Chain A
Amino acid sequence: NAGVTQTPKFRILKIGQSMTLQCTQDMNHNYMYWYRQDPGMGLKLIYYSVGAGITDKGEVPNGYNVSRSTTEDFPLRLELAAPSQTSVYFCASSYRQGGSYEQYFGPGTRLTVT
């Protein structure tokens, strides 16, 4: 079990470029999430998905898009990158167990937009 994997680990983008952050989980979890982490700000939910074909906005969705065509994959698309999108991005997945949802996080992607 690899858990949640993310690629790339690091990326530098120029303003206006676009890219896709990849996320894959091999635990057959229904729920998947994208967060961004900025210093002193905690984790902010960008988008989430409760199953293949279903996605919904989180707290900070502007400038991002997602898709969920399979249970395993949940890519995050950045269009027209801006310096405000410089951050560390975490993908997570979870399943329901006893009324709670433990989220399993990937190792993160550190993105710099210059």
Chain B
Amino acid sequence: QQQVKQSPQSLIVQKGGISIINCAYENTAFDYFPWYQQFPGKGPALLIAIRPDVSEKKEGRFTISFNKSAKQFSLHIMDSQPGDSATYFCAASEETSGSRLTFGEGTQLTVNP
């Protein structure tokens, strides 16, 4: 059972453009939603995370938008740069599962110069 669905699978954006990656979840008990960034040959690293008590969180050029009623959340990358080219994973966890994360399938982002 896929509990976190991520789209698109791949995304190509021009330098300076906005990259948008979407995730939808099924488990209403999820209460923590991180995004991880992975460069080729490396392990994923935490980029930004949100809890459902806020609808938006911004860190620099990266913003998470969260819609609790729709059970969706998205990552927006403003002024996308070639250095942002990587694979992005959304994830979710619930308090009762402790630290376990359920990951989406990943989005491969390419930012053309």
A residues whose Cβ falls under 8 Å from a Cβ of B: 4, 31, 33, 40-45, 48, 50, 58, 90, 92, 94, 96, 99-108
Contact = CB atoms under 8 A, between A and B. Distances in A.
Interface in B73-95: 89, 93, 95
Interface stretch (B11-19, B54-62, B63-71, B97-105): B97-105
Given A41-B105, A42-B104, A101 B43 contact: no
B100 A4 contact: no
A48 B34 contact: no
5 contacts: A43-B89, A44-B103, A48-B99, A102-B34, A103-B44
A4 B42 CA distance: 12
B39 to A, nearest CB: 11
Main secondary structure of the interface of B (DSSP, over half): loop
B49 interface: yes
Given A50-B99, A58-B100, A90 B44 contact: yes
